[in-house]
Amino acid sequence: MSNSVQVKKSVCMGCHIHCKVEGHLTNGRLVRIEEDKAFPKAEAIRPIVRACPRARAFPDYVYHPDRIRFPLKRIGERGDGRWKEISWEEALDEIAAKLDDIRRRWGAEAIATAVGTARTHDEYRMRFLNLLGSPNNFGQGQICYGPGTMLSRAIYGWPDFYPAIGRTTRCVVILGGNPGQAARGLWHALLGAQQAGAKLIVVDPRRTSVAERADIWLQLRPGTDCALYLGMINVIIEEGLYDKTFVHNWCYGFDKLAERVKSYDLEKVARITWVSAQKIREAAELYARMKPGVIIHTMGVEHLGVNSIEALHARYILTAITGNIDIKGGEEMRGVHPLLVPQYEIELNDSLPPEQRAKQIGADRYKLLSKDGGALISQYAKSKVGTTHTTFAHAPSVFRAMLTGEPYPVRALLTVASNPLVTQPNTKLVYRAIKNLDLHVVQDFWMTPTAELADYVLPAATWLERYSIFNYDDTVEFVYAGEPIVPARVEGKHDHRPDYDLWRGLGVRLGQEEFWPWETLEEALSYRLKPLGFTSIADFIQRTGGIMIPPKEEKKYEKVGFGTPTGKVELYSTILEKLGYDPLPEYQEPAESPVSTPELAKEYYHSEWRQVEATRRERPYPIVQVNPKTASDLGISEGDWVWIETPMGRIRQKCQLFDGILPQVVNAEHGWWYPELPGEEPWLHGVWESNINVAINDEPQYCSSVSGGWTLRALLCRVYKAKSY
Ligand SMILES: Nc1nc2c(c(=O)[nH]1)N[C@H]1C(S)=C(S)[C@@H](COP(=O)(O)OP(=O)(O)OC[C@H]3O[C@@H](n4cnc5c(=O)[nH]c(N)nc54)[C@H](O)[C@@H]3O)O[C@H]1N2
Ligand SMILES: Nc1nc2c(c(=O)[nH]1)N[C@H]1C(S)=C(S)[C@@H](COP(=O)(O)OP(=O)(O)OC[C@H]3O[C@@H](n4cnc5c(=O)[nH]c(N)nc54)[C@H](O)[C@@H]3O)O[C@H]1N2
Ligand code: SF4
Ligand SMILES: [Mo]
């Protein structure tokens, strides 16, 4: 008998690369994920599926016996680990009734939502919350590209740049990024560019695989990026290496910038950063001379908390004064596809009444998050990009409100696609805050430590079981679409549903019915594609193969300008000035210095994948990297379990000796919990054992005063030998 073979097209949501993939099925069962061969291989966006350990393990992941199969309702106390299976309709009815009660007693703002790193259709969560009248949406975006996109919108009127690395690129600068492990698509683009002769500069306290390939590696003291970049700007201006025409026509505040950076002479910068003046000068000259150049900053900079916005500001100035904007092989300005209904429109941000928006927690202190900051940025940016800046509540402040009732009580939390008990700093506070709620709902694939503290746990459909559209959250004009590869619901076996079903299900039960005309995610996504001339998402996939990339125009700013108050790139930011902040970047000593976290094991994705055997086998334990000299002074050897301790608490990881890290610095992994340990309290799957966020502080002095972003790098700790398990 011959086997029936089927191929389905989708977009992998396994990580930020979002490869276009094909699911191969034999007799209806997923056997492997392959790259979509019909995918047009634009230079900077290659599928890298074959090299990806997670892609190989997806069949084990989607069919894993530990997945949640039906909605679960807690019986017993929260955290007891005792559950009863109920139907989706029962779960949604009960949750909606409880939310209705909380809304009546405390106001809609007492209901908050937490989300993770953009891998679901989050625009429907925003729609639900805006219609409900709560401004308290928060999540990981606040430290994961949120600071960068907020700031680039403020000073360029454009979302973050797209690194268009290609054959013409002559210089690539990687700031605090580890693409060899965390961004393989970028890694491959980089190798191609190097082969074609591009130069590479890497700024990282650790010798990563990309630092090993660098022409210049600046091994800086963690947390000092801002000073380093100001020093480089100083060199570029002093030596006249900036793009005079672009600066003259398109930059605002150059003279004030030149004045500011004068105090960042290389002797001083070398003292702050521990990088030699000579190397800093060489890096500045190389970047300014080898054009087009691309700067890519990732979490080493975004996670700097106190210094993050300042460092990002200096980083964007480097791109602007060298004129590397919107040119082929440089950093491109992109925007949403002109015909696609953008996520922004689905979110219905304008339907949140102003008096409710004004209650957004944290907005009074962290002004770039606030309604004023958001409105100011959006007013200018919208005219150019067509989308605006979505504001967030400040996560650490919302957890405090759950616990203390200040500035007002937050009584319910809906956590979707996130595991804050592991990924948010100050784990003890997060734990106590969640325990204090009237209602906690989690939608996930697995019983994570966070799900163990829920009242209801809803079984989510993975990207393999649902339709999807992807356009990097309205920041690029590509449209990718995917279809389900395996069924989400199998009678009697499991009833996984897309997150959309939660938001719509609650919306229609809470009086929002007229705003939810689409019964399913498939219908909702089809609506977004109709203006492009497709009858449905299935029609789009069938006729296009699931991808549309309109041609790219260079130097769009010559036609449309920049979406800022002055219509130029604001090196000197009039928006920051209006909000009461320093309009130019200035370095501050980090709250503490220095330990840096994390190094990402390539098999994992944050707190995910620890239950899948193939990936876990490759990295069974968390690893902390220690310089051999430091280890020998502390009596620690390779493979020892060591305590990593701060005044917040201590956790254990296994020591790896590594001479690519400075003796004063250690590097711990984040995202650790142990699915195999019991779920009930006090274990919570070992959340207190190796999770570095137990030891990280999130008080206001650890947060950026501009954006509220918390500090996950450049923190002080003590390391010493632990007993082995
Ligand atoms: N100390 C320290 N902390 C960090 C970091 C660090 O470097 N150091 N990194 C930070 C960064 S950059 C990020 S982005 C965050 C990540 O923070 P999180 O997003 O909270 O972490 P993940 O482990 O990705 O958790 C995602 C959860 O969502 C589930 N999930 C995945 N897709 C879906 C979906 O489509 N629907 C639903 N309902 N569930 C889904 C997964 O099973 C998983 O349990 O962590 C941050 N925390
Ligand atoms: N395999 C895998 N891939 C992933 C993820 C995953 O969990 N696993 N997560 C995804 C997500 S959400 C994100 S945000 C990205 C993260 O991707 P990246 O940002 O590329 O990776 P990280 O390891 O978080 O951090 C990058 C580098 O910052 C350095 N660093 C630490 N402190 C400093 C500092 O003070 N200054 C500078 N300049 N550098 C510093 C670290 O040594 C590290 O090499 O990866 C994505 N891809
Ligand atoms: S998990 Fe692997 S296959 Fe999926 S998007 Fe990331 S790199 Fe591509
Ligand atoms: Mo992230």
- Give one DSSP letter per residue of 573-607, joined into a string: -HHHHHTTS-SS------SS---B-----TT-BTT
Q: Is 72:87 a contact under the CB 8 Å cutoff?
A: no
Question: Is the minimum distance from the CB of 19 to ligand 3 under 6 angstroms?
Answer: yes
Rounded distance between C-alpha atoms, residue 431 and residue 648, angstroms: 14
For residue 710, give the ligand nearest its CA.
1
Average pLDDT over residues 113-136: 93
- 152-156, 389-393, 411-415: which range is least confident on average? 389-393
Counting ligand 3 atoms within 8 A of each CB, the residue from 16, 17, 18 with the most, and so the one to mutate, is: 17
pLDDT at 49: 76
SS3 98: helix
> Which ranges in 225-265 belong to alpha helices (H)?
225-238, 244-250, 254-261
SS3 325: strand
Average pLDDT over residues 654-679: 94
Rounded distance between C-alpha atoms, residue 644 and residue 719, angstroms: 5
Spatial CA neighbour of 457 closest among 7, 195, 133, 78:
78
Q: Is 119:463 a contact under the CB 8 Å cutoff?
A: yes
- 173-187, 392-406, 584-598: which range is least confident on average? 584-598
SS3 616: helix
Q: Is 673:607 a contact under the CB 8 Å cutoff?
A: yes
Which ligand 2 atom sits nearest the alpha carbon of residue 117?
12
Rounded distance between C-alpha atoms, residue 378 and residue 386, angstroms: 9
Counting ligand 2 atoms within 8 A of each CB, the residue from 142, 178, 272 with the most, and so the one to mutate, is: 178
pLDDT at 598: 58
pLDDT at 74: 98
| pLDDT level of residue 691 (50, 70, 90 thresholds) | very high
Amino acid at 308: S
Question: Is the minimum distance from the CB of 605 to ligand 1 under 6 angstroms?
Answer: yes
For residue 608, give the DSSP letter: B
- Strands 489-490 and 479-482, bridge-based pairing: unpaired
Closest-CA residue, ligand 1 atom 37, reads 417
Question: Is the minimum distance from the CB of 495 to ligand 2 under 6 angstroms?
Answer: no
Average pLDDT over residues 551-574: 90
Residue 316 tokens read as 């964007």
Residue 210 tokens read as 């990309």
pLDDT, greater one: 695 or 593: 695
pLDDT at 45: 54
Kindly report the average pLDDT of the chain as a whole number: 92
- 107-111, 182-186, 346-350: which range is least confident on average? 182-186
Residue 385 tokens read as 């990009």
In sequence order, which residues have a C-beta less than 8 Å from that of residue 405 and are 6 or more positions away?
none
At residue 567, does pLDDT exceed 80?
Answer: yes
**606 CA distance to ligand 4 centroid (A)?**
8
At residue 725, does pLDDT exceed 80?
Answer: no
Question: Is the minimum distance from the CB of 298 to ligand 2 under 6 angstroms?
Answer: yes
At residue 161, does pLDDT exceed 90?
Answer: no
Rounded distance between C-alpha atoms, residue 502 and residue 366, angstroms: 30
pLDDT at 186: 83
- 29-43, 257-271, 439-453: which range is least confident on average? 29-43
Q: Is 475:148 a contact under the CB 8 Å cutoff?
A: no
In sequence order, which residues have a C-beta less than 8 Å from that of residue 147 and are 6 or more positions away?
302, 308, 309, 312, 704, 707, 709
Spatial CA neighbour of 644 closest among 598, 677, 676:
598
pLDDT at 384: 61
Question: Is the minimum distance from the CB of 117 to ligand 1 under 6 angstroms?
Answer: yes
**117 CA distance to ligand 1 centroid (A)?**
5
Question: Is the minimum distance from the CB of 464 to ligand 3 under 6 angstroms?
Answer: no
In sequence order, which residues have a C-beta less than 8 Å from that of residue 711 and are 6 or more positions away?
303, 304, 305, 306, 425, 590, 591, 696, 697, 702, 703
Rounded distance between C-alpha atoms, residue 564 and residue 239, angstroms: 29
pLDDT at 549: 84
Residue 301 tokens read as 């900079």
Spatial CA neighbour of 378 closest among 391, 365, 361, 363:
391
Spatial CA neighbour of 94 closest among 432, 450, 455:
455
Q: Is 447:610 a contact under the CB 8 Å cutoff?
A: no
- Using the Cα atoms of residue 645, residue 648, residue 651 and residue 653 in order, give the sign of their dihedral: negative
**191 CA distance to ligand 1 centroid (A)?**
28
**600 CA distance to ligand 2 centroid (A)?**
7
Average pLDDT over residues 473-498: 93
Average pLDDT over residues 167-191: 89
At residue 237, does pLDDT exceed 70?
Answer: yes
Question: Is the minimum distance from the CB of 15 to ligand 2 under 6 angstroms?
Answer: yes
At residue 418, does pLDDT exceed 60?
Answer: yes
Question: Is the minimum distance from the CB of 712 to ligand 2 under 6 angstroms?
Answer: no
Question: Is the minimum distance from the CB of 644 to ligand 1 under 6 angstroms?
Answer: no
Rounded distance between C-alpha atoms, residue 706 and residue 585, angstroms: 12
Could you give phi then psi for residue 34, rounded to 5 degrees? -125, 165
Rounded distance between C-alpha atoms, residue 390 and residue 196, angstroms: 39
Which ligand 3 atom sits nearest the alpha carbon of residue 17?
5
Rounded distance between C-alpha atoms, residue 114 and residue 98, angstroms: 18
Scored b (16 or more CB within 10 A) or e, 8-21 reads bbbbbbbbbbbbbb
Amino acid at 243: D
| pLDDT level of residue 611 (50, 70, 90 thresholds) | confident
Average pLDDT over residues 131-147: 93
- Strands 456-459 and 72-74, bridge-based pairing: antiparallel
| pLDDT level of residue 322 (50, 70, 90 thresholds) | very high
- Using the Cα atoms of residue 524, residue 485, residue 181 and residue 625 in order, give the sign of their dihedral: positive
At residue 43, does pLDDT exceed 50?
Answer: no
Q: What is the CA radius of gyration of the chain?
A: 25
Scored b (16 or more CB within 10 A) or e, 401-412 reads bbbeeeeebbbb
**144 CA distance to ligand 4 centroid (A)?**
4
pLDDT at 117: 82
Could you give phi then psi for residue 598, rounded to 5 degrees? -115, 175
Closest-CA residue, ligand 3 atom 1, reads 14
Rounded distance between C-alpha atoms, residue 719 and residue 633, angstroms: 11
At residue 517, does pLDDT exceed 50?
Answer: yes
CA atoms within 13 A on the CB side of 495: 15
Residue 641 tokens read as 């379990």
Average pLDDT over residues 453-472: 96
SS (H, E, C) 49-72: HHHCHHHHHHHHHHCCCCCCCCCE
For residue 468, give the ligand nearest its CA.
1
Q: Is 649:687 a contact under the CB 8 Å cutoff?
A: no
Rounded distance between C-alpha atoms, residue 267 and residue 271, angstroms: 6
Q: Is 721:635 a contact under the CB 8 Å cutoff?
A: yes
Q: How far is CA 455 from CA 91, 421, 476, in A?
A: 10, 15, 38
Could you give phi then psi for residue 76, rounded to 5 degrees? 85, -170
pLDDT at 523: 98
